[in-house]
């Protein structure tokens, strides 16, 4: 009887493996795209990111002496890098997303109810673009 039980267990494992393999098509492998919205042209993505930046970030990070984010970065970096985020070429998507969600120094964190993940992604891609 033990031989039959082992054969049944082995057959069950074989059937389960075949079922999983058949249920997982080769096309199911996710593809990674740098584009936020792959169906939109790159210009539309930049426009969306810039609009979200202007609506949510420019109040502190635009040009002008009355912008605390820009003033703070000017003081911190002393001109070694641009104080205006839109002029920076060293920003990464991951860093921008982190600072938006977690804040730093005077900068508050932005909750998902204030900026959606899509908006954060758009802003991060906009600021991390290399002109």
pLDDT digits (tens, 9 = 90+) for 17-64: 344 344 444 444 444 444 455 555 467 778 899 999 999 999 999 999
Q: Is residue 14 part of a domain?
A: no
pTM: 0.67
Closest CA to 123 of 53, 28, 59, 60: 53
Q: Is residue 98 part of a domain?
A: yes
- CATH number for the domain that contains residue 50: 1.10.760.10
Alpha-carbon dihedral angle through residues 66, 72, 78, 84, given to the nearest 10 degrees: -70
Q: Is residue 60 part of a domain?
A: yes
Q: Is residue 10 part of a domain?
A: no
pLDDT (tens digit per residue) in 93-117: 999 999 999 999 989 999 999 999 9
For residue 107, what is the DSSP state? B
* Confidence check: pLDDT of 7 > 60: no
Domain coverage including residue 104: 37-128
pLDDT attached to residue 70 = 96
pLDDT attached to residue 38 = 53
Number of independent structural domains in the chain = 1
Q: Is 98 exposed, middle or buried, given 0-12, 13-18 or 19+ CB atoms closer than 10 A?
A: middle
């Amino acid at each position: 009887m033990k031989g039959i039980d082992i054969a049944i267990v082995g057959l069950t494992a074989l059937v389960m493996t075949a079922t999983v393999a058949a249920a997982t098509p080769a096309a199911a492998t996710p593809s990674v795209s740098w584009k936020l919205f792959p169906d939109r042209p790159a210009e539309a993505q930049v426009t969306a990111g810039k609009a979200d930046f202007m609506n949510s970030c420019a109040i502190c990070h635009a040009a002008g002496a009355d912008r605390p984010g820009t003033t703070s970065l000017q003081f911190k970096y002393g001109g070694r890098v641009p104080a205006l985020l839109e002029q920076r070429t060293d920003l990464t998507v991951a860093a921008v997303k982190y600072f938006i969600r977690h804040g730093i120094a005077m900068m508050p964190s932005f909750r998902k109810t204030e900026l959606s993940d899509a908006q954060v992604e758009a802003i991060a891609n906009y600021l991390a673009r290399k002109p």
